[in-house]
Structure 1
Amino acid sequence: MSADPSRRDLLAASAAAAFLAGLGVSVREAQAIPLKFGQAKPFSYAALVARAREMATKPYQMPYKPAPDIVDQIDYTAHGKIKFKTDFALHGDNPGVYPVTFFPLGKYFPKGIKMYSVDGDKAREVLYEPEYFDMPDDSPAQRLPEDSGFAGFQVKEAKSRPDWRQKDWVAFLGASYFRAIGSLGEYGLSSRGVAVNTAGPKPEEFPDFIEFYLAPATAEHQPMVVHALLDGPSITGAYRFTIRRTEGVVMDVEKSLFMRKDVEKLGISPMTSMYWFSEYDKGYELEWRRAAHDSDGLALWTGAGERIWRPLVNPPQPHTSAFVDDNPRGFGLMQRQRDPAAYLDRYLNYERRPSLWIEPIGGWGPGSVQLVELPTDHEDFDNMVCFWVPREPVKAGQSFEYRYRLHWGADEPYPATNLARPLFTRIGRGGFPYTRANPPEIRRFSIEFGGGPLDQFPKDQKPVAVITPSRGEISSVFLETTTWSKNWRLQFDIRAEGPEPVDLRAYLKQGETALTETWLFQLHPQQLPKP
């Protein structure tokens, strides 16, 4: 096996984690059975930060990979047959709090992670035992060594719920990946501790959480605190997650990062999602369903107060978009389309996938929100990555502190009630008359704006459309109301010759007042079918 995982391997692992997060337990009715623990040792977040700082001054050491030949046999199917017995759940003997269960090692999660239970200022390691898991007699996991450790953990619903054994709401699994359910009860996109050289000129690194320290909630609806130690070839870090089970999930994140090496691109608060296709970028030849995605757009609330909506695209080749900003107020990958009829999929529940909003706490300074879009031909692999990149170069010996809040929910936590939203984006053949003789470079866009001030917009007035392309020629601009709603539909043609992407920008205004969010779109001419 290669020492360094490929992005495709980790994306496969991320997709597997979405499935395994809900299936990694064995349901029994007995009372909680004590886990086996190591000796208690002092613990504090300050001490964890000091450890990360010291580690950054020393050469990187690969995380422990027990019995690689055995672990490699625990593939996706074999891993799914191994269930943690909820009788052994950490904190399972404390009514009202959230029990924790653990994931076993496997082909896509081969690194042994140390888990600690925190009680006040003391921590005890949870010792691995095969008896914690139900597994087939012929499972390769039966041959794992005693010091294997765990691949990750998940947090169950409160024990006051009769279904707590079957339901979990947070999972940490694979590298520094973690995910949570939203207010609609489904997993979807993931977050990461940090991103290093994603879509940059240098090879991407995937630092690992190598230790977790788990402190229970004091009561139901109170926060659970998770500390984590991160290590990678170019970076170390200490993390404190304060996790609240609300209507969805809210996480306060505090982290200290220490650089071993120069890093070309440091991604803060990265998120990873899947976008395959939707109404505006598919033909009937691709799929019978109308859409397949965990997220359909990037929402931005800039430091200057502008609200931006950028629909995602599945590009013909990898592409990175940078949205320069100073002290952003928030950003995130959203799933705004909540109509099941938009997907026609009764099993995958795309309409219930969570949105993830990043709320910076404290000034982040100048930098950019970067969106990396990778081509995909299937829904099994995450191909969208988004993160904040500081403007200044990142050098060895530097340290950084960041605080932010992650909102896993159905929508943004602070939507702009004074602005309408771009509700639908549609693309078709442009030019007139509509014949095959028209140049294939002409495309027609139809953007439907609705909500906010447009719901009460005077019938005897008309908004003004502002359209700005990065290149090309705009024509045939037409703005009208729809007969079936209070929405306004903006149509225009764009002609841009050549294969280079075209960045489009549009919004509606009245006088000098914006009535809508700013709609952005990246058109890849060679991706669209010719008329």
Structure 2
Amino acid sequence: MDWNALGELARQRAQTPFQPVGDKLPEDLAALDYDQMRDIRFRTERSLWRDQSLPFEAQFFHLGLYQKRAVRLHELAPEGVTDLPYRSADYDIGRNTVDPQAWGDLGHAGFRLHYPLNNPAYKDELVVFLGASYFRALGAGQQYGLSARGLAIDTVGGQGEEFPRFTDFWLQRPAPGATEVTVLALLDSPRASGAYRFVIRPGASTTMTVTSRLFLRAGAGPVNTLGLAPLTSMFLHGENQPNNNDFRPEVHDSDGLMMHTGDGEWLWRPLQNPAQISVSSFTMRQPRGFGLMQRDRRFASYEDIEARYERRPSAWVRPLGDWGAGRVELVQLRTPDETHDNIVAYWVPATLPAPGQPLDFAYELSWQGEAQQTPPGAWVVQSRRGYGYTKLSASEQQRQPQFVLDFAGPALEALPADAAVRAVASADANGRIVEALAYPNPTQRGWRVTLRVERLDPARPVELRVFLQHQNNTLSETWTHAVLPE
């Protein structure tokens, strides 16, 4: 099994009708509830590669409850390919009274890789592949937050979202002393199939080099939105959208979408929890990067001792090669609480391949903590909406919302306090900029912008853009925001 052989498997699948994987489980296993399933744990001493004292180890997840479709796992080693079947002895079933030996070879729900990420004496959980095409990873000092996916189909624009899933994995045995590990995967869905290779390098920012070859399935119907390198996260409330009923100032896995366009512009889009679905598109050629970021790393911003949102990673996608023309699409859904992911971002190519023809793309995916990708000049560190003391009436404040933005970064730190910094603000046809003031913020060693906009039709959104300028030089990224209908 190598990359060419995997690509050929994906091509062959795309030439045949889709065959769904069954989800029927043994009755006693299917009857276990959430807490009972949590009591079934993989035995650490049976981890793959543990007996060989290799730097990476693999453990498997048990089927049940939410994970009902098995994946096939294999080890890829110099001596050949070996199947990794389900073995009931690998699991401690805890206080459950079921009989796993009667289940036969169930298969696995997924797997996770371990590596001494934070302490050389202990192998931390590094990356998880579990459920559809979802996966997520950690860098040093981080705590799980947002997820990535292999592919998203018709998240919007179709007759309902299709969730492709990884059906087969090949775990390549690492060499002694290895600092990276490789996973091959085969993806399948009613309208697409694909081959994937993940080269995973743990560190302060764990990085993955993802290589993919996709095929649209012949005769399976058109794809309206093909989402490449999709990211999925949660935003409940934050500084730009506070919740007075929650003791926590902010609750989110990500606070904004950052983009680096092919023209070199940096964009920052604060996330929202909308009353109804909100879809934003950013058209560009040859994107240089995009990601769902958790910029705010202060515990005081969240005050959640258990969730520790300040430790949630940011995920930055850096395209490798020419991705051509297309768009970054941001989908925001309403969520009532933090248990539901409601944010999706992905790249949509302008041109899709014909059925049976390959679509090759690659990217580097970085799971970042304190050391994050930022624009070279200055960036937004706070986005707040509202007024302090004002003589405007409540209806005037509603008609003319005010935003207070803090920018920071080396380009601003290098300026004297009396520098002539200007806020360049614009709105679409449904908005009129009433006020855009920029002035120093010594607490951030940066600049603050106060922006007031008049909404002409309150039933329609308003698109806003603001960046800082000094002597015709652009200093900062562009803050881009949608004022949604009330």
TM-score normalized by the length of structure 1: 0.86
* Aligned equivalent of 1:342, options 301, 306, 310: 301
Task: Report if aligned partners of 1:116, 1:214 keep a CA contact under 8 Å in 2.
Answer: yes
1:57 paired to 2:15: yes
- Structural mapping, 1:308-327, within 5 Å: 308-327=267-286
- Is the partner of 1:333 in helix, strand or coil? strand
- Residues 365-420 of structure 1 deviation map (CA, whole Å, 9 limit, x = unaligned): 00001111111110001111110000124543332111111111126765333x11
1:265 paired to 2:222: no
Which region of structure 1 is more displaced relative to structure 2, 269-278 or 517-526? 517-526
- Is the partner of 2:52 in helix, strand or coil? coil
* Aligned equivalents of 1:384, 1:439: Cα separation in 2: 28
1:114 paired to 2:77: no
Does the C-alpha gap of structure 1 residues 192 and 485 become closer, same or farther in structure 2, counting only changes over 3 Å? closer
Does the C-alpha gap of structure 1 residues 478 and 413 become closer, same or farther in structure 2, counting only changes over 3 Å? closer
* Aligned equivalent of 1:170, options 127, 137, 155: 127
* Aligned equivalent of 1:362, options 321, 336, 339: 321
Task: Report if aligned partners of 1:237, 1:257 keep a CA contact under 8 Å in 2.
Answer: yes
Question: How far 1:523 moved relative to its partner?
Answer: 1.1
Does the C-alpha gap of structure 1 residues 334 and 414 become closer, same or farther in structure 2, counting only changes over 3 Å? closer
The structure with the largest strand share of the pair is 2
- Structural mapping, 1:247-266, within 5 Å: 247-260=204-217, 261=220, 262-266=222-226
Question: How far 1:467 moved relative to its partner?
Answer: 0.5
Question: How far 1:217 moved relative to its partner?
Answer: 1.9
Segments of 5+ residues of structure 1 without an aligned counterpart are: 1-42, 527-531
* Aligned equivalents of 1:141, 1:46: Cα separation in 2: 42
Q: Which residue of 1 aligns with 2:256?
A: 297
- Residues 193-250 of structure 1 deviation map (CA, whole Å, 9 limit, x = unaligned): 1001112232111111111100122134521110111111001111111111122311
Q: Which residue of 2 aligns with 1:75?
A: 33
* Aligned equivalents of 2:400, 2:154: Cα separation in 1: 36
Amino acid at match of 2:306: Y
RMSD over equivalenced CA pairs, Å: 2.0
* Aligned equivalents of 1:403, 1:390: Cα separation in 2: 13
* Aligned equivalents of 1:516, 1:440: Cα separation in 2: 29
* Aligned equivalents of 1:144, 1:274: Cα separation in 2: 40
TM-score normalized by the length of structure 2: 0.94
Q: Which residue of 2 aligns with 1:179?
A: 136
* Aligned equivalents of 1:337, 1:250: Cα separation in 2: 21
Question: How far 1:453 moved relative to its partner?
Answer: 1.3
* Aligned equivalents of 1:179, 1:215: Cα separation in 2: 19
- Is the partner of 1:256 in helix, strand or coil? strand
1:274 paired to 2:234: yes
Does the C-alpha gap of structure 1 residues 301 and 138 become closer, same or farther in structure 2, counting only changes over 3 Å? same
* Aligned equivalents of 2:448, 2:411: Cα separation in 1: 15
Task: Report if aligned partners of 1:273, 1:294 keep a CA contact under 8 Å in 2.
Answer: yes
Question: How far 1:460 moved relative to its partner?
Answer: 3.0
Q: Which residue of 2 aligns with 1:329?
A: 288
- Is the partner of 1:379 in helix, strand or coil? coil
Amino acid at match of 1:99: E
* Aligned equivalents of 1:99, 1:376: Cα separation in 2: 36
Question: How far 1:162 moved relative to its partner?
Answer: 2.8
Query: How many pairs are equivalent?
Result: 480
